[in-house]
Structure 1
Amino acid sequence: MNLTDRVAVITGGAGGIGSALARRFVAEGAAAVVVADLDAAAAHAVAAEIGPTAHAVGLDVTDEEQVRALVEETERRYGRIDLFCANAGVATGGGVEAPDADWDRAWRVNVLAHLYAARAVLPAMLKRGSGHLLLTCSAAGLLTAVGDAPYTATKHAAVGFADWLAVTYRDAGIRVSALCPQGVDTPMLADGLANGHLGARVIAASGAVLTPDQVADATIAGLAEERFLILPHPEVAAYARRRAEDPDGWQAGLRKLVRRLRAERQ
């Protein structure tokens, strides 16, 4: 997909990867970019920074009626949605002991929000015979987010759902991409490090933390090539192959890293 003259919607658009995508889409010549976020004030700030091409909306992605209303309003305002970026996500830093409320929130934001977006945008896209869905799934959806069981489980589900969408709708003209970055310098990573979350420390130890703008660059390239997997960290492809070929060895390597990081904290 070439972003010139396209209409794009970005959830979780008020910061991190989302706001970087919004700025880059406008720079690429998008006709309109809708910045949607639970933090409506932050979304409006991003839209104001970008300029008249951007439009801000407050949105709870776990509320299907709100998602449907966003899509309907965008289609009324601009005539169509060419690209829907289901980008909102949450981490927990918890394991099996994480309360049910954390598991439920991760499921609703990291998985059901993608479902709600697809339900809302697919009818018009299918009628038109074109459209692109971009789901931010994380490298955790291909590998493991050490120290965060809800994030790992739900991101794997998100990749699985994106794969199903791609297989089901590609021949109808719909393109689907799963954006799977590893470490990105976002508030999510900063909060994890501040709280001592093991997964955030593993990412920091890897030394491969990208800026949101670098992720946006990789996303633009992936959309242009209509790739299913967009991997801002190319090494993730090698990790995924290693994990598939030798899961026991892959897990042993992760356990070794975890032991080292835990020893450093003692």
Structure 2
Amino acid sequence: MYLTDRVAVITGGAGGIGAALGRRFVAEGAAAVVLADLNADAARAVAQAIGPVAHAVGVDVTDERQVRTLVEETERQYGRIDLFCANAGVATGGGVEAPDADWDRAWRVNVLAHVYAARAVLPAMLHRGQGYLLMTCSAAGVLTAVGDAPYTATKHAAVGFAEWLAITYRDAGIRVSALCPQGVDTPMLAEGLAAGHLGARVIAASGAVLTPDQVADAAVAGLAEERFLILPHPEVAGYARRRAEDPDGWQAGVRKLVRKLRAASQ
């Protein structure tokens, strides 16, 4: 899919990757970009900076009724949604001991929000015989997020759901991509580092932290090629192959890195 004259909706659009996607889509000639975010004021500020084809709405992606309303109002205003980017996500920094509330929030934002988006946009897309879903799933969805069990589990679920959609609806004209960046210079990473989360420290130590704009560039290229897995960090493909071919060796390597980081912090 090329973005010229397209109508796109982006959740988590108030900052980070979502805002970068909005800027890039407009630069590509999108007809309209709707930035949806729990922080409506921040989303409005981004939309105003992008220009007149962008506008913002306040949406809680864990509330299916709000997601459905977002889709209905966008379709009413613009006639269609060509591309829905389910981009909102949360990390916890917790392990198995993370409170149930953290597990539940990760599940609702990182997985169910994708389900709600698909339920809302698919009927009209299927009627037209075309449409695109871009789901931000993270490299944690094909590898792991060291130190964050809820994030790892839910991002794997998100990739699995995206793959199911791609298999089920491709022949009906629906395209699906899973955007899986590794380290990105976003508030999520900054907050993780400030809190001392192990996963954030692993990402920072990798030396491969991209800007949100670089991730948006990769997303646009992947959409043009209609690739299922969009990997802004090319090395993730190699890691995934190594993990599949030698899971014990892969885990040993990650454990070694974790031990090194823990020793350095003592």
Structure 2 counterpart of 1:218? 218
Offset of residue 55 of structure 1? 1.1
Cα distance between partner residues in 1 of 2:210 and 2:260: 23
Structure 1 counterpart of 2:76? 76
Q: Percent identity?
A: 88
Cα distance between partner residues in 2 of 1:250 and 1:59: 39
Structure 2 counterpart of 1:10? 10
**3-state SS in 2 of match to 1:145:** coil
Cα distance between partner residues in 1 of 2:103 and 2:20: 28
Alignment of 1:53-68 (within 5 A): 53-68=53-68
Structure 1 counterpart of 2:252? 252
Structure 1 counterpart of 2:168? 168
Offset of residue 245 of structure 1? 0.2
Offset of residue 167 of structure 1? 0.1
Q: For structure 1, which segment, 46-55 or 117-126, has the greater mean C-alpha deviation from structure 2 after superposition?
A: 46-55
Q: Which amino acid aligns with 2:17?
A: I
Q: Write the deviation string for residues 101-124 of structure 1: whole angstroms up to 9, x where unpaired.
A: 000000000000000000000000
Q: Write the deviation string for residues 170-210 of structure 1: whole angstroms up to 9, x where unpaired.
A: 00000000000000000000000000000000000100000
How many residues were matched structurally?
266
Structure 1 counterpart of 2:141? 141
**3-state SS in 1 of match to 2:9:** strand
Q: Which amino acid aligns with 1:117?
A: A
Cα distance between partner residues in 1 of 2:90 and 2:131: 26
Cα distance between partner residues in 2 of 1:59 and 1:242: 39
Cα distance between partner residues in 1 of 2:56 and 2:183: 27
Cα distance between partner residues in 2 of 1:97 and 1:263: 22
Offset of residue 51 of structure 1? 1.0
Cα distance between partner residues in 1 of 2:35 and 2:10: 5
Q: Write the deviation string for residues 115-171 of structure 1: whole angstroms up to 9, x where unpaired.
A: 000000000000000000000000000001000000000000000000000000000
TM-score by length of 2: 1.00
**3-state SS in 2 of match to 1:98:** coil
Offset of residue 18 of structure 1? 0.2
Q: Which amino acid aligns with 1:68?
A: R
TM-score by length of 1: 1.00
Q: Write the deviation string for residues 204-231 of structure 1: whole angstroms up to 9, x where unpaired.
A: 0100000000000000000000000000
Cα distance between partner residues in 1 of 2:47 and 2:143: 34
Structure 2 counterpart of 1:26? 26
Q: Which amino acid aligns with 2:123?
A: P
**3-state SS in 2 of match to 1:26:** helix
Q: Which amino acid aligns with 1:185?
A: D
Q: Which amino acid aligns with 1:257?
A: L
Q: Which amino acid aligns with 2:164?
A: W
**3-state SS in 2 of match to 1:81:** coil
**3-state SS in 2 of match to 1:118:** helix
Runs (4+) off by over 6 Å: none
Q: Which amino acid aligns with 1:65?
A: R
Alignment of 1:46-125 (within 5 A): 46-125=46-125
